[in-house]
Amino acid sequence: MDLPHPSRRQFLAGLLATGAALGTRAIDLTTRLEQALDQATRRGRSPGLIAGVWRGEKEEWSSIRGVTAWGNKERPTLALHTRVGSITKTMVGTLILQLVDEGQLTLEQTVDRWFPDLPRAREINLEMLGRMSSGIASYTFSDKFTDQYFAHPEKAWSEEELLEIAFAAPRVFEPGRGFQYCNTNFVMLGKIVEKVRGTSLDEALRKHLFDPLKMTRSSYPMGLELPEPYWSGCTLQGTPDGTTQPVDATHWSPTFGAGAGQAVSDFHDLSLWARALGRGATLKPETQRTRLLANTYSSKGGRHYCFGVGRENGWIGHAGTLPGYNTQISYLPKQDISIVVMANTDTGTDHGLPAVDAFQLLAAAIAPSP
């Protein structure tokens, strides 16, 4: 699933999980994982990396590289909060599917009742939003959005402002007849959760995901601040072409992400969420199976986008990107293995985004296979 590289005009707010399948057992697992993270550190541009592997609930390995901010010497810790970007989509998608299990929604319902201002809203249903097949434009590809965001990155955005930009843009393809990774879809799904639950998305996430799963260090902050402790994120997004010195994006407003990318978590909670997502916790088994059905237009090789989650060569997961941060969670059901990687930059290299690249190397180190 190729997505645009970050630049001044192209804005990343998430990336589908990628990786290699696991096969044979590693002879010296710790050494292989350490070497893999060393390689990711050398060829990446992240000031810091935090990574871990679990088999079941047991943490098998964790390791840290680098510093907490560009230009300092402070070593990261596993307790640091980070902006998880599009991993938020996996959470909002789960809230929607919980409502399906409760009989309050069906995936076949069209969105006109919630978004009457959307052109041809009666042709788009919840399933199309979750599988990125709606054909609605993503506001993050609009100059109207990026010009304002990069000029005033501290600006607080409302969902209504984001949707107005998206709804005014031309349709990308006919509803249900394509694939485009689109943040608008999950802003809409987040608003639907709020309207059906009669509460804020923050409260819905806390009550229906974070509390039941004991994710006590996860949140959906509405302002610029991060919960303590946190690390600083640096980015090249919004800088002139040719810039090599990153800027501090730690307190840029996350509100442009809304239901597509606004959540915050930490290393421990992300491990809980990787397992819960992959196992279908809080959902009926048949609903989890439905979630993992692919948008066939997205399928390429062993990669597929499903309902707010990716599948690749047996892995179930998602990556998230917000200016200054990149995160990857993945789960392999056949071996009950989870991987979490956190990076404090969203600046990629020829090898891709830092957390995604590290995940690929770690997955291959655990047990390489074709």
Asked whether residue 209 carries a pLDDT value surpassing 50, the answer given is: yes
Instruction: With beta carbons less than 8 A apart as the criterion, state whether 30 and 61 touch.
Output: yes
pLDDT band at 179 (very low <50, low <70, confident <90, very high): very high
- Identify the pLDDT of residue 11: 40
Query: How many Å apart are CA 186 and CA 177, to the nearest integer?
Result: 18
Q: What average pLDDT score do residues 361-367 get?
A: 88
Q: Which amino acid is at 196?
A: V
User: In terms of DSSP H, where are the helices of the chain?
Assistant: 29-43, 87-101, 126-130, 143-151, 159-168, 183-197, 201-205, 267-279, 285-291, 354-366
Average pLDDT score over the chain? 92
Query: Domain boundaries in the chain?
Result: 29-366
- Identify the pLDDT of residue 193: 98
Asked whether residue 9 carries a pLDDT value surpassing 80, the answer given is: no
Segment 95-140, tens digit of pLDDT: 999 999 999 999 999 999 999 999 999 999 999 999 999 999 999 9
Query: How many Å apart are CA 109 and CA 106, to the nearest integer?
Result: 6
Asked whether residue 34 carries a pLDDT value surpassing 70, the answer given is: yes
Query: How many Å apart are CA 353 and CA 248, to the nearest integer?
Result: 18
Under CATH, which architecture does the 29-366 domain have? 3-Layer(aba) Sandwich (3.40)
pLDDT band at 176 (very low <50, low <70, confident <90, very high): very high
Q: What average pLDDT score do residues 169-180 get?
A: 97
- Identify the pLDDT of residue 175: 97
10/89: higher pLDDT: 89
Note the Cα 163 to chain centre separation in Å.
Answer: 20
Asked whether residue 87 carries a pLDDT value surpassing 60, the answer given is: yes
